Amino acid sequence: MPPRRRPVPPLLKSRAAALQKRLRVADLDGLLVVEPVDIRYLTGFVGDDSWLFVPARGTGLVILSDSRFTTQIERESPHSRVVIRTGAMADAVAGLLGRKNIARLGLPRDHVTLGQRKKLGKALRGIKLVPCDDGLIAQRAVKTDDEVKHIVRAGKIQQQAFEETLAFIEPGMTEAAVAAFLEYRMRALGADGVSFPSIVAADANAALPHAIPGNTKIKKGSLVLIDWGAKFRGYCSDMTRVIALGKMKPKLREVYRVVLDAQLAAIDAIKPGVPLRAVDQVARDHIDKHGYGEFFGHGLGHGLGLDIHEEPRLSPLAPKDGVLKPGHVVTVEPGVYLPGVGGVRIEDDVLVTPRGKRVLTDLPKDLDSAII
């Protein structure tokens, strides 16, 4: 006998209701959600290789999964209806929807592959497949208090692990060894895992914004860029600090000050209603003014949550009419990269509040604290 389903928790109910309203506005009868983080957001179920059917009306969300996840779904999402498939996913979808009155089915256009669409088209004859923007990206960008708490907790874990790493790091260690210690400490301190593979980049490697830690040794007087993050209950945090062992070269000290001032000015500009592009511009103008504009090639920051890169983006490429809203959590991470010499990026996580902002991460970042 199937286990009796529990009532849907209010938070999940309201998340689904907001999505269902958009489905009705778009004249869709239902939606197939295929992204694991979206499924987690709507049901609490953390597995992969599973899809979720969301009807435009009612509480009949159905997880389509396989036997590897039967017990896990009962534990993580005891309120959900489940179809455990034994054949192809498209056939399981057809079996489920054949019993429902579905004429127009939404497919998230940024997530369903061409191959999946083809298979669905064959299996779901008579149902119109409508590529759509399900709006979950924008919905997930605005965090609830609980989500913010998870991000803060992730930030605390990553910060403590960093402080332990500062005590651990010594000349002669490789970048990879330092990254391994940092990641081990985050796990040991209660992280689900890392938000992304940590970057530990020494000297000239720090000029690569996304360097992979390798066998390069950290020396006395080295500059080391560390970009790392922890996940707590699925929620990511993300920071970057730059340290120097013993001393920092005058050129890099100058760059450090420029980047730090750019970051502080951009954080200062954050509040609801401010255009996304304008926040980026504050940092960009400061770096330009000091002659390093050509060495700051990436956007200022990004949203973060269940994914490490989410909306909104603080970037010259952000939508022109995009503005900050209360509940957005964004990174602020200007950087200057001098090829062959090194690079400086400083990154913190910032919550947009109804009246301004709250910086969620608080490791020291003045120049003195960067020299260890």
Q: Which is nearer to Mn ion, 35 or 238 (CB)?
A: 238
- Considering only the stretches 70-78, 138-146, 201-209, 324-332, report the one whose residues sit in contact with Mn ion under the rule CB under 5 A: 324-332
- Per CB under 5 A, which of residues 134..163 are in contact with Mn ion? none
Q: How far apart are CA 357 and CA 72, in angstroms?
A: 38
**CB of residue 292 vs Mn ion: minimum separation in angstroms?**
19
Q: Name which position in 50, 65, 263, 331 contacts Mn ion (CB under 5 A).
A: 331
Q: Which is nearer to Mn ion, 105 or 199 (CB)?
A: 199
**CB of residue 225 vs Mn ion: minimum separation in angstroms?**
12
Burial annotation 91-105 (CB, 10 A radius, 16+ → b, else e) = ebbbebbeeeebebb
**CB of residue 235 vs Mn ion: minimum separation in angstroms?**
14
Mask for 192-231, x = binds Mn ion (CB under 5 A): ----------------------------------------
**CB of residue 347 vs Mn ion: minimum separation in angstroms?**
6
Q: Which is nearer to Mn ion, 50 or 331 (CB)?
A: 331
For position 238 contacting Mn ion by CB under 5 A, the verdict is yes
Q: Which is nearer to Mn ion, 52 or 276 (CB)?
A: 276
CA dihedral 309, 314, 319, 324 (to 10 degrees): 100
Q: How far apart are CA 340 and CA 268, in angstroms?
A: 32
Q: Which is nearer to Mn ion, 96 or 239 (CB)?
A: 239
Extract the runs of DSSP E, i.e. beta strands, from 111-264: 128-132, 193-194, 199-202, 223-228, 230-232, 235-236, 239-244
Q: Which is nearer to Mn ion, 65 or 331 (CB)?
A: 331
**CB of residue 333 vs Mn ion: minimum separation in angstroms?**
5
Q: Which two tokens stand for residue 266?
A: 């951009």
**CB of residue 311 vs Mn ion: minimum separation in angstroms?**
14
Q: In DSSP terms, which residues pair with 82 in a beta bridge?
A: 63
With 0-12 CB in 10 A as exposed, 13-18 as middle and 19+ as buried, what is 298?
Answer: middle
**CB of residue 309 vs Mn ion: minimum separation in angstroms?**
8
Q: Which is nearer to Mn ion, 56 or 200 (CB)?
A: 200
Binding-residue total with Mn ion (CB under 5 A): 2
* CA-wise closest residue to 106 among 35, 29, 21: 29
**CB of residue 361 vs Mn ion: minimum separation in angstroms?**
11
- Considering only the stretches 62-70, 103-111, 120-128, 326-334, report the one whose residues sit in contact with Mn ion under the rule CB under 5 A: 326-334
In angstroms, the Cα distances linking 115 to 52, 92, 112, 150, 275 are 18, 16, 8, 36, 38
Rg of the Cα atoms in the chain: 23
For position 311 contacting Mn ion by CB under 5 A, the verdict is no
Asked if the peptide bond before residue 209 counts as cis, ω within 30 degrees of 0, the response is no
For position 280 contacting Mn ion by CB under 5 A, the verdict is no
What count of Cα atoms within 13 Å lies in the side-chain half-sphere of residue 337? 18
- Residue 370 and residue 241 in contact, taking contact as beta carbons nearer than 8 Å: yes
Q: Which is nearer to Mn ion, 175 or 238 (CB)?
A: 238
* Interface positions with Mn ion (CB under 5 A): 238, 331
